Amino acid sequence: MASGAVRPKLAYIVCYVKDVPKSAAFYADAFGYSVRRVDDSHKWAELDTGSTTIAFTPLHQRETDALTGEVQLPKSPRERGPVEICFDYDDVDAAYRRAVENGAVPVSAPEQKNWGQKVGYVRDCDGITVRLGSHVRE
């Protein structure tokens, strides 16, 4: 980075989904976040996730489809999208159970990895892969 340049802040991660209010409610129930807002048009929702906001917007929208093409979700359970959402938990087993009990599709149960992290994987209601892991200490 050039001298004197300001590093940008990561403000949003936007998930393109089939049903904005449903996805926001799913993340609240499955992963323990509060819904910060769902706009009246139901075309935008945000979770209260700290300094970087996770937001939801429809798969297809006039503003972006014409410019960059339509969003493509995985067509089968054997495919996955190009983004993975990762959450850190103190109790990964409890977080995994909560997610599955609230509709997340189990991918792999939590297990201890050789790099020192306990990790489990699920898919959300739109097929997005979500990693539930313990914090890795440096």
The pLDDT of 2-15, averaged and rounded, is 85
- Domain regions of the chain by residue span: 9-69, 80-138
Tens digit of each residue's pLDDT (9 = 90 or more) over 97-131: 999 999 999 999 999 999 999 999 999 998 899 99
Kindly report the backbone phi and psi dihedral angles of residue 106, in degrees, each rounded to the nearest multiple of 5, phi listed first. -65, 135
Q: Please, are residues 93 and 110 in contact by the beta-carbon 8 Å criterion?
A: yes
CATH fourth-level superfamily of 80-138:
2,3-Dihydroxybiphenyl 1,2-Dioxygenase, domain 1 (3.10.180.10)
The total of other beta-carbon atoms located within 10 Å of residue 42's CB is 14
* 9-69, CATH topology level: 2,3-Dihydroxybiphenyl 1,2-Dioxygenase; domain 1 (3.10.180)
Same CATH fold, 80-138 and 9-69? Answer: yes
**In angstroms, rounded to a whole number, what is the distance separating the alpha carbons of residues 54 and 94?**
22
Q: Please, are residues 18 and 60 in contact by the beta-carbon 8 Å criterion?
A: no
For the chain, the average pLDDT equals: 89
Tens digit of each residue's pLDDT (9 = 90 or more) over 40-72: 999 999 999 999 999 999 987 766 666 666 677
